[in-house]
Structure 1
Amino acid sequence: MSDDTKPTRADGDDTKPAARIAALRPAYRADLAHGVERFFEPRRTTCPWCGSDRLTTRLRTTDLLQHKPGRFVLDRCEGCGHTFQNPRLNEAGLEFYYRDFYDGLGEKKLGDTFGGRTKMYRGRAESMLPHDPAPKRWLDVGTGHGHFCAAARDVLPDTVFDGLDFTDGVELAEREGRVERGHRGSFPELAPELAAGYDVVSMFHYLEHSTDPDRELRSARQVVRPGGHLLIEVPDPQSRYARVLGRWWLPWLQPQHLHFVPVGNLRHRLAELGFTVVAEQHAEPHDPVDLLAAVWLALDHTAPRDDAPWLPEPPGALRRTVRAALLVAGIPALVVGTLLDRFAVRPLAHRLGLSNAYRIVARRD
């Protein structure tokens, strides 16, 4: 998952990766000069979902994808089952840990990854067909570069798809024609001007990134017209893989994922907001990558670090050689993980309680 390729950037920057990394290193060095403690809010003593003080530690881990410095804790509420990052990243921390993941150094890598998931995007759009086979307007919240909207047009050719995101990816999506209109900013802040404007609002793997999921749900109620639908897909914290794989379970995605909502909690809150859940899916949204990702994360964690601007110095030739050798040695394990994911686990994932995500379709009454 290292960013060794030559990025293609909208601004025409074709600088080689090593030079780009070197140029970014002084800014990262300044950010880290006073430690990472300043990136966190005070630790909570109560659950942000139900207010209970019955908290236990579920997971301690590090940044296993970018390998930026810092340690992260997920606590679980024994009252309602909600799992959340505690202490949580503050605004400065979110900026620091998101930087160069979806944009900058990570833009091309993530764009290629998301752009190649057309079958998954079509499946998400098709989940709406039994409930509204021809929605007129659809808003995809957390749309990124708009790849879902582009693929969903094949399923719903008469639907107008708009996107919303707080990054400049949504502006790229509009320029590339993947969305009709790109709204850039915070969903709760933009919700009043979008009120009752959409037949469908979708949130695909968005709520877990939000600092206040309940506020996002209330915003969705504003934006979905009466009789319209809210479509939500999130990681399932009740997946057995979450326990079996521990820190190597990809959907934990620390430190970006702040909240993990059990399906029962989400159903109950949607009912309080005036929604009726018309579909709950577990097998369909399962992404068969758990074992492959776990092997990769363990290999990448064990190997010497690849070059990154948050490292004090670029790795030398010996470290690069050792890294390459370890990753090559791990190829058979990666192949086995892939085969097990796709052919052994996937057909039985829901039955075995291994589905890594769930999807809910709810109608606003």
Structure 2
Amino acid sequence: MSNTPEPPETSEAPEPPAPSRTEQVAALRPVYQADLADGTDRFFEPRRTTCPWCGSAELKTRLRTTDLLQHKPGAFVLDRCQDCRHTFQNPRLSEAGLEFYYRDFYDGLGEKQVGTTFAGRTKMYEQRAQSLLPHSPTPKNWLDVGTGHGHFCESARTVYPDTTFDGLDFTDGAELAERAGRVERGYRGSFPELAPEFSGHYDVVSMFHYLEHSTQPGLELRAAYRAIRPGGHLLIEVPDPDSRFARLLGRWWLPWLQPQHLHFVPVGNLRGRLTDLGFTVVAEQHAEPHDPVDLLAAVWLALDTAVPDDVPWVAAPPSAFRRALRTAVLIAGIPAFLLGTLLDRFAVKPLSRRLGLSNAYRLVARRD
């Protein structure tokens, strides 16, 4: 028997509990109030007089709205070109505006909620990956641009178990995705700036609801051409500005997503630009990428806007009465939420293509 004394037991101090949302909001409020002290003018570039897609000066205002998701201050305008029908934010967010309006949406205050939402969309991600199978059944490597937290790559691996998935995003989501093992490599930064180091490396590049966030979508498409090897494929999915829901629901149509969505490209414009770059479009889908949430989301946006939650970009927290009113309004809206969900899934989705209600379209293009 050994007389060697056993080492004393050590106990690590428990980690302090994560701050509540109320505490997070209170801590952020002084920072946001300082940002807003001089108003919102610096968050916008000068207004354009020509279309950023074709250069035409024939512009017409299509939509005026506010931030219906975060309720950050500001008014946003979407103009449409009367010649090529490209719809774009005008005036567009400046670099300062992009930082301000993205802050606490995908990370910080909004990270948990957005991460939970994206993590629960496994079937949609698998369906996106399956859309490439007829054209590229065994890609060696795949770059997902605008990967967020990498949930698409994690799901796509069940469809392509032998493919290496990398992710790129201009937020820290790509780094989080790499640490979580959802991507092999997570690149943070601008795709056009990083594209030279990817030259001809990837069999597939995907952009799912990414191009509409870009300040210069043409540069993103050129970057994709550079990153894809000859014979490889580009997979793009974007909101469809020609959806009838865009007209029927107006500012309550979720895919407008102001102020984050800067460009809305009609499918004919995107097909033409891809052809000009040296791609051949091998598939166009409308019904398949339709996300059946339009009516449900419109109800939520309307009720949430009527009685917003406590947010740090408002100078003072809501009173007890306002909090109680918000709870009452949301409870009263439950029948409308249920009706919207049922109509979205069982009435609209089966007929979305036939009725022109698809809220997104998807293109598969081969680099020649």
TM-score tier, shorter chain, comes to over 0.9
Q: Secondary structure at the match of 1:231?
A: strand
TM-score with structure 2 length normalisation? 0.95
List gaps (5 residues or longer) in structure 2.
1-14
Q: Secondary structure at the match of 1:310?
A: coil
Equivalent residue, structure 2, for 1:237: 241
Determine what percentage of the aligned residue pairs are the same residue: 77
2:34 is equivalent to residue 30 of structure 1: yes
Equivalent residue, structure 1, for 2:363: 360
- The separation in 2 between residues aligned to 1:254 and 1:291, in whole angstroms, is 18
- The separation in 2 between residues aligned to 1:206 and 1:316, in whole angstroms, is 38
- The separation in 2 between residues aligned to 1:359 and 1:353, in whole angstroms, is 15
Provide the aligned C-alpha RMSD in A: 0.9
TM-score with structure 1 length normalisation? 0.96
The structure with the largest alpha-carbon Rg is 2
What per-residue deviation string (whole Å, max 9, x for no partner) do you get for residues 109-145 of structure 1? Answer: 0000000000000000000100010100000000000
What per-residue deviation string (whole Å, max 9, x for no partner) do you get for residues 234-281 of structure 1? Answer: 000000000000000000000000000000000000000000000000
2:345 is equivalent to residue 338 of structure 1: no
- The separation in 2 between residues aligned to 1:30 and 1:314, in whole angstroms, is 16
What does residue range 52-91 of structure 1 map to in structure 2 within 5 Å?
52-91=56-95
What per-residue deviation string (whole Å, max 9, x for no partner) do you get for residues 135-172 of structure 1? Answer: 00000000000000000000000000000011111111
What residue identity is the alignment partner of 1:143? T
Equivalent residue, structure 2, for 1:178: 182
What per-residue deviation string (whole Å, max 9, x for no partner) do you get for residues 199-253 of structure 1? Answer: 0000000000000000000000000100000000000000000000000000000
- The separation in 1 between residues aligned to 2:146 and 2:69, in whole angstroms, is 20
- The separation in 1 between residues aligned to 2:106 and 2:232, in whole angstroms, is 31
- The separation in 2 between residues aligned to 1:291 and 1:83, in whole angstroms, is 22
Equivalent residue, structure 1, for 2:275: 271
List gaps (5 residues or longer) in structure 1.
1-10
Equivalent residue, structure 2, for 1:306: 309
Q: Secondary structure at the match of 1:233?
A: strand
Equivalent residue, structure 1, for 2:3: none
Shift of 1:301: 1.2
Equivalent residue, structure 2, for 1:21: 25
Q: Secondary structure at the match of 2:321?
A: helix
Q: Secondary structure at the match of 2:330?
A: helix
- The separation in 2 between residues aligned to 1:89 and 1:15, in whole angstroms, is 32
What does residue range 209-220 of structure 1 map to in structure 2 within 5 Å?
209-220=213-224
2:140 is equivalent to residue 140 of structure 1: no
Equivalent residue, structure 2, for 1:128: 132
Q: Secondary structure at the match of 1:234?
A: strand
- The separation in 1 between residues aligned to 2:321 and 2:289, in whole angstroms, is 42
2:151 is equivalent to residue 154 of structure 1: no
Aligned pair in 2 of structure 1 residues 195, 13: CA closer, same or farther (>3 Å)?
farther
2:323 is equivalent to residue 320 of structure 1: yes
Aligned pair in 2 of structure 1 residues 30, 221: CA closer, same or farther (>3 Å)?
same
- The separation in 2 between residues aligned to 1:12 and 1:98, in whole angstroms, is 28
Q: Secondary structure at the match of 1:74?
A: strand
Partner of residue 230 from structure 2, selected from 226, 244, 250? 226
Shift of 1:19: 1.2
2:325 is equivalent to residue 350 of structure 1: no
